Structure 1
């Protein structure tokens, strides 16, 4: 799901080349009618909904003094309100049981957050607030929906991920070289790292590790 058809088409084409049955739906997570339509279209196309991954985000560098209320609200709507809206619209399908079969377990939700709000980050007050809200949504839904419907709700909070448009837009090269010395492995993360963590969290492997 995304707002840009060209990006969706490229992603679907890439998945098709791997033999994966994929379909892209245009929609904006800030609009509840889009969220409902895409969730319903997904279930209609595939027959069931097992996993929801919330990764929509907006970001730009701005000081708190120069940030408008509209700019703050836009990021909050995309990151936090959008995450809740997608979860809410997907709930009735996820609680029927994951993996498209009659199961006592529900489906799985994975929310992508960040680490900006763990301390404080220059010129990121809007995103820090939005990601803190995403973390709170994740914890509360894990409590409520995990208890009521056995739906697993997890989150991933990436640090700097090097091969992303966000890093190239938000962090100049001269700053990148100075910040690497403060990273545990002296290097930025890669999208593959996040992909593998996501795959683990939504798979049955995580259940096996919990039961050990």
Structure 2
């Protein structure tokens, strides 16, 4: 595709974005920012209040869809709902995930499988199904997968989580390579600890202070910062960026 310039305000007006796990945390911050930039947003989430959350974010341009992305039929129904409502899909953000932590010698088979089912397999299935929609549309698209700094460094008790996120990075590269011919950009974001409500609880006190000492910039991230990177990757400013893993960790992995 030829370079045609881009709107310097990182415009995504009228684009249709699907965000998994968009009812809370990082996903909700991304949905909120996309809506501020005048995109239309479909939030896919298991949260029973997802429809109300979407209306709260924007009564007209956001819809909430109850969806279990570990089940193909649920994904198919959700995608069809988005297409019925908005007619197309331009952006996919895979934000839904789980962190089930334990030391490697005691990690249960169920923890491992649940982590892979949601973090990896469900993300691939979303990419595959929405990717096919984008290919049929013939207008390209943007896919953003949420990975983690745990994909590239070792962390205590994170063996299943780290494995799933490392696979996300590799998957992102493979999809980017295959789908470049269709003008579909596929990238990943790898944050450090992000201070969502769950992040604040999990990293409070001495544990968090010790972890921040390992970060050159000396702090954790905020959902709004990850959302800003997701906006950048969704915009035409990044039409030449694909297959990349954008690390947002305050310099933790440069050591």
TM-score calculated relative to the size of structure 2? 0.73
**2:215 equivalent among 149, 173, 183:** 183
Does the alignment pair 1:4 with 2:47?
Answer: yes
Does the alignment pair 1:81 with 2:114?
Answer: no
| Moved >6 Å (runs of 4+) | none
Residue aligned with 1:143, SS = helix
Does the alignment pair 1:116 with 2:150?
Answer: yes
CA contact (8 A) 1:59 1:75 kept: yes
CA contact (8 A) 1:114 1:157 kept: yes
Does the alignment pair 1:66 with 2:102?
Answer: no
Counterparts of 1:106 and 1:141, CA distance in 2: 13
- In the alignment, structure 2 segments of 5+ residues that lack a partner are 1-43, 243-255
Of Structure 1 and Structure 2, which has the larger fraction of its residues in strand?
2
Aligned residues: 199
For residue 174 of structure 1, what is the aligned residue in structure 2?
A: 206
CA contact (8 A) 1:180 1:188 kept: yes
Of Structure 1 and Structure 2, which has the larger fraction of its residues in helix?
1
For residue 100 of structure 1, what is the aligned residue in structure 2?
A: none
Counterparts of 1:16 and 1:117, CA distance in 2: 34
For residue 42 of structure 1, what is the aligned residue in structure 2?
A: 82
Does the alignment pair 1:205 with 2:205?
Answer: no
Residue aligned with 1:36, SS = helix
- In the alignment, structure 1 segments of 5+ residues that lack a partner are 98-103
Alignment RMSD: 1.9
What does 1:121-140 align with in structure 2 at a 5 Å threshold? 121-140=155-174
CA contact (8 A) 2:151 2:169 kept: no
Counterparts of 2:92 and 2:113, CA distance in 1: 24
CA contact (8 A) 1:96 1:106 kept: no
Shift of 1:9: 3.2
**1:194 equivalent among 191, 208, 226:** 226
Greater RCO structure (CA 8 Å; 6+ sep): 2
For residue 155 of structure 1, what is the aligned residue in structure 2?
A: 188
What's the CA shift string for 1:24-73, capped at 9, x where partnerless? 11111111111111111111111111111101111132111221112101
For residue 145 of structure 1, what is the aligned residue in structure 2?
A: 179
Residue aligned with 2:55, SS = helix
Residue aligned with 2:63, SS = coil
Counterparts of 2:183 and 2:239, CA distance in 1: 12
**2:61 equivalent among 3, 10, 21:** 21
